[in-house]
Amino acid sequence: MPEISEVLKKKGLKATPQRMAIYQALLSTDAHPGAEVIYEQLKMAYPTLSLNTVYTNLDILADVGLIRRIDSGEGLFRYDGNPSPHLHIICTDCRKVEDIYGDCSIDLADMTGKVEKWSGYKVNDHALYFFGQCPECLKR
């Protein structure tokens, strides 16, 4: 994975096999996995990988802005390979987390401006979660 190692180096990070694998794993899924899931998934290919390393690298990757930490309210953190602020919808039955694309984000840019004026905060980021039941769970 030549591109990935370049992206990491640009951020001043060493392109270790573990780090590349963790980042790659996030880029290649839209399932918003947690640390444990990524660890289990990579253990096959990297038997010596430690859970610690997964946590450490998820932190580092989120710090430099390559990935995004998601807090779905389950008491664990999930991660998203797409770091740009976007919307998530969470099924309260099966706990699935899905991305929402569309024209919604336009409204949010407006709102950020309003919020800055109102609160006096310097707003750097936002997170919008919708909670409900996914089509599959609704069928039951």
Q: Which chain residues interact with DNA by CB under 7 A?
A: 5, 9, 13-19, 34-36, 46, 48-53, 55-57, 59-60, 75-77
- Binding at 45: pick from DNA, its own copies, none (beta carbon under 5-8 Å per type): none
Q: How far is the CB of 65 from DNA (least distance, A)?
A: 15
1 near its own copies (CB under 8 A):
no
For residue 66, the tally of other CB atoms under 10 A from its CB is 20
The two structure tokens encoding residue 134 = 């996914």
- Binding at 111: pick from DNA, its own copies, none (beta carbon under 5-8 Å per type): its own copies
70 by DSSP, 3-state: which?
strand
Query: Contacting its own copies (CB under 8 A), which of 27, 59, 69, 82?
Result: 69
Pairwise CA distance, residues 2 & 16, whole Å:
12
Pairwise CA distance, residues 69 & 3, whole Å:
22
Do 18 and 57 touch, CB atoms closer than 8 A?
Answer: yes
Q: Which of 108, 88, 106 is nearest to 98 (CA)?
A: 88
Residues near its own copies (CB under 8 A): 69, 71-73, 75, 77, 87, 89, 91-92, 98, 100, 102-104, 107, 110-112, 114-116, 118-135, 138
